Structure 1
């Protein structure tokens, strides 16, 4: 391929833009300290992981062997026996959540999907695409699903087989829904464990909680039926991707035979990015458990430091347990745009990631927030 000088200049300009902005997208959880240069040579090939990596396929230019090792790693991480699990590398967290909801709908086709108002916006789309009945549930001030409201809605709907969409780290506040209490309360309603489905959206926190001393319940050992994690967030990747893991016995019932590739396909997308599989494999082979623990501890330390500095300036900043998301009152537009902050209603947040090697740039943001808050009208209430 060859480009004209004009088109090459356009690419060069975009290259400079990326260099200037790669490390300070602080409102969004994307690790940027990755190096996949050993994989560059594979971009010469049209790799395609079509279908189920457990099945031999006529399309031989795939990375199935690497995908198997990736899924073995995440099965262990999320506490399920590898042979009892099934999963694949997705195109992102939304596909993983759709897969979990799809499985649940196939198990309980007449049931309602219950999810909180702090749930990622994609879940509303998923419910429409899958034509699932859905119900919005209130949240607590810190972002967890309001279990009393959940149970009230399940009771009022006379729901016998509810589908629960649990957040293991909400988008805006990093809140973790109490899946232990949810299951206990469902039991009090007389709903048997085999009569509800529990999907866990752990887009960011799925790579945090396994590496902290006192994690909230979130794994298969804690009762979940499927879990979705993003690959381009805490792990880091130049290509959006993710991982979904589910109980194999549930997945077997949705398999589709595809004659022209001589294999089964249980995935949402069919043709899948085999290069992102190589990236996930490289990432997990490059980091030991102790390395992940150090990375997570660094991020948590930076987050707590940001909370302390903002609170010292009388700004009501806070974070949830085991969360690297720092929540504070929404600053002026020129501040949140200048620092690429995520804002929602009267709140904003920053997220501390492994590529924030020191607090210098964070301090620049914190100083800007403090200056800005000194001239903004004081809020009468804030949570």
Structure 2
């Protein structure tokens, strides 16, 4: 069967719409300069990565071989020996974070999950789905977790096994929670390293910090137990996806044997997209370490350019260290809608992902924000 002419026209109009709006997202952290045409031929197959890529699976059309190489890459990037790690390509940041929280809950079934007010909204959903005890912690003005409030609440709860959800680049302000500070505070409180779990949500910054000279600590060598990074953000992908990496010793606790596929499953969703591991594999194989460094350097320079332009116009814009998220006072609705900005309360932000090759879109936005503020100040 074929589509009617009307339906074909509808698809053609949507194609034109996508081409026109491909690079609209100055307010959202999705890189749009990817090219996976080399993989288009695989779209005719039902590729399902059900089960564990490290084991045999009776469903033969899988991309396990490629997924394994993706996980080897990220284990190395996040400083954990591959044989001591396990992870997989997820449906996105929410699944990656749920996996980390799930491991923490299985390790400490009665533990309390602590996360800051600047944490991504999905964590509240994860708390409900996992039915895990939780406490919301205050944030510092720059978006970092309030370390004093964190310890105050752990002490008030008399919690012997805290599960800490650390942000490595918050959604709105791009703040990085200080892993070393958190661990030092826990140590001072008499909580041994084996008595707490530390998950890092590095959805955006997980592909920034490994490529800068003075990165904040956030990897396994810095003491984390699991980490999630998005595939469709700094890397870029037509299908939302993520990568989660954890310590193998903790993952083994949740392994389930599935007889009808002759495999073990350690994942949240079971049947998984087999195409996104191919995309992540192609991305890491076609970009050298130096390539990622150049992309990150350019993005950071564009962010600093935006801060300077705002500040020269008398508008209080700022960004956190090693962040491509530029925070500024929220303009009027007509401006933030025109530029598809993400807003939160009295602030908005722009994000300088790598497809912003020049400052044209940044300048257009800043010009409108300056005009808007001048009009309201008159």
Q: TM-score range by the shorter chain?
A: over 0.9
For residues 315-357 of structure 1, the C-alpha deviation after alignment (integer angstroms, 9 at most, x for no partner) is 0000000000000000000100000100000000000011101
Establish whether residue 51 from structure 1 lines up as the match of residue 51 from structure 2: yes
Aligned to 2:125: 125
Could you tell me how far 1:360 is from its partner in structure 2? Answer: 1.2
Q: Which runs of 5+ in 2 are unaligned?
A: none
Q: Give TM-score scaled by structure 1 length.
A: 0.98
Match runs of 1:44-83 below 5 Å: 44-83=44-83
1:172 and 2:187 are equivalent in the alignment: no
User: Alignment length, in residue pairs?
Assistant: 378
Give 4+ residue runs of structure 1 displaced > 4 Å after superposition.
none
Give the distance between the partners of 1:373 and 1:260, measured in 2 at CA. 63
| 1:319 to 2:309 alignment | no
Q: Which whole-Å CA distance do the structure 2 matches of 1:115 and 1:95 have between them?
A: 17
Once the two structures are TM-superposed, the CA of residue 176 in structure 1 deviates from its matched residue by 0.1
**SS at structure 2 position matched to 1:227:** strand
Displacement of 1:376 after TM fit? 2.6
**Inter-partner Cα distance in structure 2 for 1:206 and 1:373:** 34
- Kindly state the Cα deviation for residue 46 of structure 1 after the two structures are TM-superposed: 0.5
Trace 1:151-190 onto structure 2 (pairs within 5 A): 151-190=151-190
**CA distance, structure 2, for counterparts of residue 219 and residue 376 of structure 1:** 45
1:98 corresponds to 2:98: yes
| Structure-2 separation of matches of 1:133 and 1:354 | 39
Instruction: Give the equivalent residue in structure 2 for 1:381.
Output: none
Distance 2:312 2:231 in 1: 35
1:207 to partner: Cα distance: 0.1
Tell me the distance in 2 between the aligned counterparts of 1:376 and 1:93.
Answer: 38
Matched, 1:278 2:278: yes
For 1:58, what is the secondary structure of its paired residue? coil
Query: Does structure 1 residue 262 correspond to structure 2 residue 255?
Result: no
Equivalent residue number for residue 236 of structure 2: 236
What is the alpha-carbon distance in structure 2 between the residues aligned to residue 375 and residue 224 of structure 1? 48
Task: Provide the secondary structure at the position in 2 that maps to 1:165.
Answer: strand
Superposed displacement of residue 168, structure 1? 0.1
> Deviation at 1:262?
0.6
Q: Distance in 2 between matches of 1:342 and 1:2?
A: 40
Instruction: Specify the alignment match of 1:210 in structure 2.
Output: 210
> How far apart are residue 377 of structure 1 and its match?
5.1
Residues 131-184 of structure 1 show CA distances to partners (whole Å, capped at 9, x for unaligned) of 011100001100000000000000000010000000000000100001100000
Any gaps of 5 or more consecutive residues in structure 1? 379-383
State the TM-score, normalized to the length of structure 2.
0.99
